[in-house]
């Protein structure tokens, strides 16, 4: 079971990495073109702001589970690192479980808000404004799965 979950999350991580790279690249290209359009041609792309903002939101929220996986999120370990190894591992599991619960709340809430705002449209694109909540829900669910895995199979404490 652990092997299946690990493989599945690794594939989800790979998809998230590709989406984060694509979102960041899209954002860079659109903002660069928009700057050139404004200052060189004195014109503006109506849709550039919303598309670059959507790329930003997607990049940020899909990158969160990657940071959890890699252990690159900020953590305060001054006290916890002094605990004996068993208490340290237990604390890591409890905190991972609490964080997974928080991510499930974020996922659920983003789905609720998306359903409430489904009829609202973006100003310059013919899209529902709920598209901004889709990467939030996906990133939160992906994060929750990683955190649940960490709460069940805690990684080795950092030395």
Cα-based distances in Å from 146 to 38, 66, 81, 154: 43, 9, 22, 11
Q: Could you tell me if 136 and 58 are in contact, meaning their C-beta atoms sit under 8 angstroms apart?
A: no
How far is it, in rounded angstroms, from Cα 114 to Cα 74? 29
Domain membership flag for residue 21:
yes
Residue 159 has pLDDT above 60, yes or no: no
pTM score, two decimals?
A: 0.85
Domain membership flag for residue 31:
yes
Q: Which domain holds residue 23?
A: 2-152
Segment 107-147, tens digit of pLDDT = 999 999 999 999 888 888 888 889 999 999 999 999 999 99
Residue 154 has pLDDT above 90, yes or no: no
The residue that leads in pLDDT, 83 or 15, is: 15
Domain membership flag for residue 157:
no
Domain membership flag for residue 55:
yes
pLDDT value, residue 61: 96
Quote the number of domains for the chain: 1
Domain membership flag for residue 158:
no
pLDDT band at 73; cut points 50, 70, 90: confident
Domain membership flag for residue 119:
yes
Domain membership flag for residue 159:
no
Segment 43-71, tens digit of pLDDT = 888 899 899 999 999 999 999 999 998 87
Residue 128, beta-bridge partner list = 121
pLDDT band at 155; cut points 50, 70, 90: low
Domain membership flag for residue 101:
yes
């Amino acid at each position: 079971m652990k092997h299946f979950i690990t493989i599945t999350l690794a594939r989800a991580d790979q998809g998230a990495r590709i989406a984060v790279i694509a979102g960041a690249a899209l954002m860079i290209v659109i903002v660069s073109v928009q700057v050139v359009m404004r200052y060189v041609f004195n014109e503006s792309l109506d849709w550039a702001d919303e598309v670059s903002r959507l790329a930003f939101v997607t990049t940020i929220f899909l990158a969160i589970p990657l940071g959890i996986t890699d252990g690159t999120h900020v953590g305060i370990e001054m006290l916890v690192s002094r605990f004996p190894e068993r208490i340290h591992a237990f604390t890591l599991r409890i905190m991972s479980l609490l964080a997974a619960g928080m991510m499930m709340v974020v996922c659920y809430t983003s789905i609720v808000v998306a359903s409430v705002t489904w009829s609202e449209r973006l100003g310059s694109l013919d899209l529902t404004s709920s598209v901004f909540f889709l990467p939030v829900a996906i990133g939160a669910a992906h994060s929750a799965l990683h955190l649940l895995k960490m709460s069940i199979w805690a990684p080795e404490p950092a030395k």
